[in-house]
Amino acid sequence: MSVSMEEFLKRRKSRNKAILAVLVGLCVLFYAITIARLTH
């Protein structure tokens, strides 16, 4: 399947944003786990 360069760049940008969101989410998650474990 081939897509236009414009569409490819759009998809790559959205993938990068999703990866950023996942990384931020993981930071928050590990912070929350640490707090939860410390207060347990």
- Binding site residues, other proteins, CB under 8 A: 1-8, 11-12, 14-15, 17-18, 29, 32-33, 35-37, 39-40
Residue 2, phi-psi category: left (phi > 0), alpha (psi -120 to 50), beta (remainder): beta
Q: How far is the CB of 34 from other proteins (least distance, A)?
A: 9
Residue 4 dihedral angles phi and psi, to the nearest 5°: -70, 160
Q: Residue 7 or 24: which CB sits closer to other proteins? A: 7
Contact between 20 and 27 (Cβ < 8 Å): no
The distance of closest approach from Cβ of residue 14 to other proteins in the complex, given in angstroms and rounded to an integer, is 5
